[in-house]
Structure 1
Amino acid sequence: MTSSNFPKAERLLRRPEFLQFNEGASKLHTQYFLVLLKRNEGTGTRVGFTASKKVGNAVVRNSIKRRLREFYRQNKSLFISADINIVAKKGADVLDFHQISTELAAAFGRLRKKYA
């Protein structure tokens, strides 16, 4: 397998995993995304993606989440070992993949400096 895959072990899948961010998670706001980060017990990087109905209809929300998954798959080296949830804000639907990549790469660069 290549390193550009996205196996289930690297995903946040269940509701309790997403609810853990309500308690003590670090937040980083960008213009179109909110990055929630919580250190885990050495289980590696696990990532989840959230887009509420404020962002758009189901087609729009799924499109944003697909682009976010692709960003993660292509840029795993930017992510630190933690549980991370990327939440799309209103207006994120107008971004193309390059704009998403630029905004999130800058955000994860700041996170690496803060937590490295």
Structure 2
Amino acid sequence: GRPLSVDSTRLAPDIGRPLLDRDLAHRDVFDLIEETTGHRLGSAEVTVHAVTAEPDTARLLEIPAGAALFAIDRLTCLADGRPVDAESLRVRADRFALQALVHRGPIAPPT
């Protein structure tokens, strides 16, 4: 019943315009990108770091200005490498945890 994050997405114009007529409230935007372009998504570069809530973001998240937030920035590309979606999320740190499972693989020989 309380907000978790504020998300901002920027799409390439030829990708974003066709999505305006789609059901963005109930469909995954990545599925819609693949459907409208006819191309598969390939990879995403994700950066997670800490920030403090600016007044507008704090108001939307119902937290005090200056509260700790996770900032998640993601650049998603089609399989051919073309960037199509730049997303910035601000997530309440009191309601979110980042967990990763990291495997150690063989050590690559020096080049």
- After TM superposition, the score normalised by the length of structure 2 is 0.27
When you count strand as a share of all residues, which structure comes out higher? 2
Max Rg structure? 2
When you count helix as a share of all residues, which structure comes out higher? 1
- After TM superposition, the score normalised by the length of structure 1 is 0.26
